[in-house]
Chains A and B, each alone.
Chain A
Amino acid sequence: MPILEVKNLNVSFKTIDGIVKAVNDVSFTVEQGEVLGIVGESGSGKSQTVLGIMGLLASNSIVSGSIKFLGQELIGVSTAALNKVRGNKLSIIFQDPMTSLNPYLTIKSQMTEVLTLHKGMSKRDALAESIRLLDFVRIPEAKERVGLYPHEFSGGMRQRVMIAMALLCRPELLIADEPTTALDVTVQAQILQILRDLQTEFKMSVVIITHDMGVVANICDRVNVMYAGRLLESGSIDNIFFDAKHPYTQALLNSIPSLDHQVEKLITIPGEPPNLMSLPQGCVFQGRCEKVHNDCCNGDIMVQEFADKRFMKCNLALGQG
């Protein structure tokens, strides 16, 4: 049984200007011990999808669909019930470690609180466990540093503290929302290494959100490609990187300058993503797709399924591409 099962998830926001459809009919699963990447550009709905899973959406949001975590439905349950799961079996780390840590509290008090609350541990045990995890994410002199405030750490260190904090209760699923975007490349490499080690050590599942295809290739097993609120293609990283079927995935991969090969000119995607308040009928990528035809502009878009839980949403018959 999958750890997480998202089915027909819709997230929209009521604003003064109208309804913003941030996530549209998104379905996917996360298996035990799997690292799933969600990639997409800004506004593709990748963050709103996971905020929906965590029950952290803004108050003007309208959510429908189903999110089952370890068999338990998360949509529509009370905050109290959510709080039993969040931070316990289900954890999240955010992009900006400075704004997600409380600047007024020491790392010690922020970390031990999690354990005393969820696990009922004594302060002393909680502190010992916190130090153990700080050691694990390679914070030097963790014993001494645990008493410091967030501003006394560098950006990379803070992100490690966040990871340690998210792992305190041994979650079954860790969600990482752009965990390395704010960091320098050499620090990013350290954090990715730590995430990989943790994943093997604790055998947990990880959902990692990123816009960096390099990060996906580095750490993920499978990847979901999102665009304008839709999940357009999903598959193993080898399938996606070496045999992308959806025109958007193909175009996205072509438009990245890469270190491993030199191209004369980048192949770009013309135009810009559609406005989420007035999405076109039919496929959301139609305005920029070079293989667009009449079927793309109205009605439902076909979901084509393949082996290994691979699928894409596109009317293009294979072989036509």
Chain B
Amino acid sequence: MDNIGSFILPITIFLIVIFGFSQKVKIFDTFMEGAKDGIKSTLLIIPPLIGLIVSISMVKASGALDIFTCAIAPLTNSVGIPEKTIPLMILRPISGSGSMAIINNIFSQSGPDSFIGKVASTMMGSTETTFYAIAVYFGSVNIKNTRHTIPAALCADFSGFLMSVLTVKFLFFRN
């Protein structure tokens, strides 16, 4: 199972190239044409990424995470969400590397097969770095008014977190 990920990438490229040859596409010329667009897109997402990443490093360094964890704990405890996963839920939508670091922490403290370890794994696996996607995608086309994107995406994230607790409880820790 571990190797499936390493199969998918070569197979995808294989299929693309085969399709191209079968339609007599000039593969390299076409590739360069497309890759040139990649340069422009990368340049466009530099400003939003720098803004987002700097502000997130500030959040991580400031201790805000601890303060918020203490503040929200009574609320999440009453719904049955373990307290140790609060920093993960706060950081998950804004920083992929930050939430990875928290997962690492949880695994070395509680173990990956504990209740908290499994909940954290499921939370991480079932959600995405929401604000990164918003910044990159809208930044790449210079859209400033994102309308209802953020509320909808955050509702999705929150239901993903809640469902992670419920499904892990139901599937693995039912007594």
- The answer on A and B forming one complex is no
Q: Which residues of A are in contact with B by a Cβ distance under 8 Å?
A: none
Q: Which residues of B are in contact with A by a Cβ distance under 8 Å?
A: none
